[in-house]
Amino acid sequence: MPIQKNPNTTAHPANPLSDHVALVTGGSRGIGKAIALKLAELGAAVCICGRAPQALQNTTRELRHITPHVLSVPADVAHPEQVTALVQTTEQALGPITLLVNNAGIGNPGFGAIQDKTESDWDTVVNTNLKSVFLVSRAVVPSMIQRKRGDIINISSLAGKNTFAGGALYCASKWGLQGLSGCMAEDLRAHGIRVSVICPGSVATEFSGRGAKDPAKVLTADDVAHAVAMLALQGPQSFISEVHLRPVSKP
C-alpha cells in the first residue's frame, strides 16, 4: 500500500507539485505515461489507471524510481462503477485528488469513412474519449469544491478544432470534448477549480491513428507532458483555458 500523502502541505521549490495528488487516466503508456512521470518528477503523488495490467505494472515500477507515492489501478473509465472505485481507492491511498489529467483515449475504430462505421464503433470511441471525461471529472469534483482548489486538464486534439475525411467518429469525440471542457471551466471557476484543455497535433506514440508519420515532424509524448506541467504550475490567480501544440516542422 503506498504511503498516504497530505495534499495540503506546502510545496518545496525543488518539488513544486509536492502538495498535489494527481490522477492520470490512461497513464500506463504513451502520452499518459509521460505525463505521470513528469508530474512525479515535480513532486506530485501519482495514481495511474488503464486497461492493460502489464503496462500498468511496468509504468508503476518506473514511477517508484522517482517517488514512493504511487498507485496504479486497473480500470475502464468508460464505466461509472469502475470510475467510482478508482477515485475512492486513489483518495484512500494517497489523499484528496487535486490534479486530474483526463488523458484516456483511443483512435481506432474512430478513423474511416462514416458510411463504413457501426454503432458499436461510435459507442467505443465516444465512450472512451468523451464520456469518460464526464464520469471521472464528476467523481473528482466534489472533493475539489469542498477544498476550493483543483486543476483538471483534458487531453484533446487538434482534431477537435478541424475536420478531415475519414475522421468523423474521432473528430466528433474531440469536438465534444472541447465543448465539455469549456463548460466545465465556466461551471467550476467560481469554486477555485481550473479546467484547461490541451490540443496536440500528431504525436509519436503507439496510439492507433491515421498511419505512419515522419518522427522528425511530429510531437513527442514528452512535449505534451511539458504542456501539462506548464498548466499545473501556472500562477494561482489565472488559468490557461486552451493550449494548441504543434511540431516545429510541419508534417
Catalytic positions, written as ranges = 170
Alpha-carbon dihedral 30, 36, 41, 47, rounded to 10 degrees: -150
Beta strand 45-50 pairing with 21-25: parallel
CA-CA distance, 88 to 118, in Å (whole number)?
Answer: 35
CA-CA distance, 134 to 225, in Å (whole number)?
Answer: 22
- The radius of gyration computed from the CA coordinates of the chain, to the nearest angstrom, equals 17
CA-CA distance, 184 to 101, in Å (whole number)?
Answer: 14
CA-CA distance, 250 to 247, in Å (whole number)?
Answer: 6
Q: Rounded to whole angstroms, what are the CA distances from 160 to 99, 134, 168, 212, 238?
A: 23, 16, 11, 20, 24
What nine digits make up the cell of 114?
462514416
Report the DSSP beta bridge partners of residue 70.
46
Q: What is the 3-state secondary structure (H, E, C) of 82-114?
A: HHHHHHHHHHHHHCCCCEEEECCCCCCCCCCCH
Torsion sign across C-alpha atoms 43, 47, 51, 56? positive
Closest CA to 105 of 157, 65, 153, 182: 157
